Structure 1
Amino acid sequence: MKNLKTIALTLFTLATVAVTAQTKKVDVTKSTIKWVGKKVTGQHDGTVKLQDGALVFKAGKLTGGSFTVDMNSIEVTDLQAGKGKEKLEGHLKHEDFFGVDKYPTATLVFKTIAAKKNNVYTVTADLTIKGKTNPVTFDMTVNGNAATTDFKINRAKYDVKYGSGSFFENLGDKTIYDDFDVSVNLVW
């Protein structure tokens, strides 16, 4: 009887330890990344597409994630074709901003994750843009087969200099703010 209890306890322990991570590949056709860049005289907004990505769960809890963004897919959504849309998209892809010829992708790799409350996690990740890597921290909400987050990125940390008061003086109303807002909706 004692051996039977020991075997049962051992099996239970092994079953508990054997909980393996589940990787949820993100559906890049249903997932969205929206951005808003602001300047003294207004703002522009748009989208950029995921190239690939996945979230990792263990025992139903978020434990990891990594994503690659296709920087060539930068699109401006607040302007119409023939009314500055193409010009701004071309400039955002130029070395003045994201230099997509040399840096066609940006990456985000989760480093630490802390459960905050039901289905909300505080994530610290390494964000790489234009070959420069810096940590970013944000809250992510996971609900069923979707996850959402909103956070700010300081472009100056990634050597995105054009119109930045951090790099140039006396820009006046030509100043473009360093922080831009990102809103992400992931679906798997």
Structure 2
Amino acid sequence: MNKGFLKSAVAIVVVFTTLAFSQIKKEVNIEASTVTWTGEKVTGSHQGTIALEKGFFLMEDDKIVGGEFVMDMSSIQVTDLKGENRQKLEGHLKSSDFFGIEKFPEAKLVITSAAAKGNGKYGIVGDLTIKGETHPITFDVMMEGDSAKTHLTIDRSKYDVRYGSGSFFDNLGDKTIYDNFELDIVLKF
């Protein structure tokens, strides 16, 4: 009986060891990767960048099975303005009216599942955390060689980013800022 138990235990260890080592982390080159944001309001839009702090895809048999990405919210920059206007908007975006970077210095995306759609395209399901609020998100990722691209549309009001939102405040008129903002992400490995 002991011999059979020992053989079973060894077999289980071998199976779990094999499974554990079949997944690899594909680390993102954060200096070569870009996250570009666009926010719109009634009277126009603004664009800028946010730096990735770290990130990886979890790969199994060269397919995405998971991952985690962290953005440094203190790195928010505005690229369509200059001088004092740029500084004012960057300061406002970092304030508690928007992303509250003193209390919430990071935003995080954790991939919970991925499904290959063919030709390097994946359907991704994940949990996005901004300002301590976590909500599910779905999107597609296109993998090509040593890079991946995606476009996300995020409803900021779900993450307690309500400043200027017509969904929460009346009579804003042309000062209304739309709830959705866009992220265009290019990851390099």
- Give TM-score scaled by structure 2 length: 0.88
Per the alignment, in what secondary structure is the counterpart of residue 101 of structure 1? coil
Match of 1:125 in 2: 126
Match of 1:86 in 2: 87
1-structure distance, mates of 2:37, 2:185? 9
Per the alignment, in what secondary structure is the counterpart of residue 85 of structure 1? helix
Per the alignment, in what secondary structure is the counterpart of residue 115 of structure 1? strand
1-structure distance, mates of 2:89, 2:96? 13
Match of 1:136 in 2: 137
The 5 Å alignment of 1:162-173 reads 162-173=163-174
The 5 Å alignment of 1:98-113 reads 98-113=99-114
- Structure 1 residue 24 displacement after superposition: 0.9
**Aligned residues with identical type, % of pairs:** 50
1:33 partner letter: V
Contiguous gaps of at least 5 residues in structure 2 = 1-14
Per the alignment, in what secondary structure is the counterpart of residue 70 of structure 2? strand
Per the alignment, in what secondary structure is the counterpart of residue 90 of structure 1? helix
Per the alignment, in what secondary structure is the counterpart of residue 87 of structure 1? helix
The answer to which structure has the higher helix fraction is: 2
C-alpha root-mean-square deviation of aligned residues, in Å? 1.2
> Across the two proteins, how many residue pairs are aligned to each other?
172
- Structure 1 residue 81 displacement after superposition: 2.1
The 5 Å alignment of 1:11-160 reads 20-82=22-84, 84-160=85-161
2:138 partner letter: T
**1:8-61 CA distance string (max 9 Å, x none):** xxxxxx8xx657011111111001000000000000000000000101111111
Per the alignment, in what secondary structure is the counterpart of residue 68 of structure 1? strand
Runs of 4+ in structure 1 over 4 Å off: none
2-structure distance, mates of 1:171, 1:183? 28
